[in-house]
Structure 1
Amino acid sequence: MIIYVIAGPPGIGKSTSGSSFIPLGTPIIDQDLAGYQYKKQGFADYQDLASLRSNAQVRDFLFAQQPFALELNLGFESHYSYLKSIAYFNPANQVHLFLFYTDHVALCLDRASLRYINGGHEVKPEVVQEMYANTFPLFEKHKQLFQAVRLVDVNEDSPIECHRRMEQLPDWITRNNLLEYL
């Protein structure tokens, strides 16, 4: 079974564009979206409810051996611990990563701020910056977890899956020695 992981720092556009990169019809578990929905319904403990719901969905898909996608930041060690617990549920599971990133952290900061202004969850600027900075050191440490890695460059217009034949590769790919994934 394949578990698709749509990852990147807060504000990068995982919820907005992630479904464009995974197979059509693949269910996506988005804890942030679940939290937003519970918050709109007036639940004070909306984050806890979203976590419980997301964990239950993951469990159901794992037991049913049904492929699914999971949105994660992968900006903290705890995110990788969580992902490992899911991936290792069945050693035959494969984890395919779609890593969204940008050379411009300001893009993430602006989008995270706009999301909060528009009623979404808040991610403080220092947390966005920390996860942005942690992305590649943590990826390097845990890259053996992934059977496939696809890199997605995000700019003001739209996300673009990167490939070797691109006229100009984003700096973050060359700076972090990611050419092997193209």
Structure 2
Amino acid sequence: MKKSIFTIAIFAIALISSIEVSAQVFDPLDKSPMDVARFPYSWRDSDKIVRVTYSRPQLKGRTLDKLAPKGKVWRTGANEAAEITFYKDVTFGDKEVKAGTYTLFTIPGEGEWTVILSTAKNVWGSYSYRQEEDVVRVKGLVGKSDKNYEAFTIGFGDDMTMYLVFGKTLVSVTITE
């Protein structure tokens, strides 16, 4: 009996002394957190039509033109370029698009933005954008938001219209099945 207690005690001491305690090291929080917008807003796979995964830059006293200059290709968010997945064939703006995942780029303009779906994958920013990878280019209508959005936001209306809003700039693109 004494021998088994002694063995258990030695085992316990060995186990305790072999556990190394160290603090976890985490990267700092991203200043432009990732977000997802989807239509319809449902968790059921059978309902999915479109989902956009993007990062949300903040204005922080800067102008929209500083973050997304007019006439230049923008990654449509921050960090990695936004990705849009269609789970069904759709009409995006006025162009037919097959189900699949695309990178979402935009070219900001005064009265309209060019909204681009590209075959590029895993793209950081718009630095490696190549026009030959475009699937479609459509016009997004520009309007004004009543509210000022400090963080770039993508959302969908009840009719599946996709809205991009940053500051008081509101861009819309129709999507239909």
Q: TM-score range by the shorter chain?
A: under 0.3
Say which structure is richer in strand.
2
TM-score between the two structures when normalised by the length of structure 2: 0.23
Say which structure is richer in helix.
1
TM-score between the two structures when normalised by the length of structure 1: 0.22
Q: Which has the higher contact order (CA 8 A, sep 6+)?
A: 1
Larger Rg: 2
